Amino acid sequence: MKIKLKNLSPLTSYLSIPRGFTLIELIVVIAIIGILSSLGIGSYLTVKVKARDALRKSDLAQLRTALELYRSDQGTYPPTPLPSCGSALSVATTTYIQKVPCDPKTKSSYSYSTTGTTYQLVTCLETISDSQKDVANVAPCSGTTNWSYTLVNP
């Protein structure tokens, strides 16, 4: 009696066909996903910082407009301090800005100083490479973790 190889073929074919992924393949895929996600998170954090800086600049521009409207009507810039964050800057029935903007990260007021005929608005930026930052830092910015951005009356 001769054994045919044909009878063994289902067993051999079952053992020889790879089924699923090997451990090495799974580790490589997980490593690639980890690298890509870490790059994505880093980019996301950079974008958030730049967005907060852009919002700070926009807030100061809105405040500048409100201060100029105030001076146009009242003949002088508003005294320090400005109303607190979220409050309106108004005199009698005239409202110059509905809500005084707050810093997006610290939720505190922007720095404002005035002589009555001039003013200075200062915020601290988080991006060292910002092309519009001040050449020399202005208080309250440290110059090591944040950099000043100043607007003055036109």
Residue 44 counted as domain residue: yes
Q: Token digits for 122?
A: 């200062």
Query: What is the per-residue pLDDT for 142?
Result: 84
Residue 13 counted as domain residue: no
Across 29-46, average pLDDT:
88
Residue 39 counted as domain residue: yes
Separation of alpha carbons 97 and 78, rounded Å: 12
Q: Does pLDDT of 145 surpass 90?
A: no
pLDDT in tens, 47-81: 899 999 999 999 999 999 999 999 999 999 999 89
Separation of alpha carbons 74 and 93, rounded Å: 13
User: What is the total count of domains within the chain?
Assistant: 1
Query: Please, which pLDDT band fits residue 135 given cuts at 50, 70 and 90?
Result: confident
Domain holding 28, by residue range, is: 22-152
Residue 119 counted as domain residue: yes
Residue 75 counted as domain residue: yes
For residue 37, with 0-12 CB atoms within 10 Å meaning exposed, 13-18 middle and 19 or more buried, which class applies? exposed
Residue 2 counted as domain residue: no
SS3 97: strand
Cβ-contact 108, 101 below 8 angstroms: no
Query: What is the per-residue pLDDT for 73?
Result: 92
Q: What global pTM score does this model have?
A: 0.74
Q: Does pLDDT of 31 surpass 90?
A: yes
pLDDT in tens, 92-132: 889 999 999 999 998 999 999 999 899 999 999 998 888 88
Residue 123 counted as domain residue: yes
Q: Residues with Cβ < 8 Å from 150, sequence gap 6 or more?
A: 120, 121, 122, 134, 138
Cβ-contact 65, 151 below 8 angstroms: no
Report the Cα 20 to chain-centroid distance in Å: 43
Residue 8 counted as domain residue: no
Query: What is the per-residue pLDDT for 118?
Result: 93
Separation of alpha carbons 15 and 145, rounded Å: 62
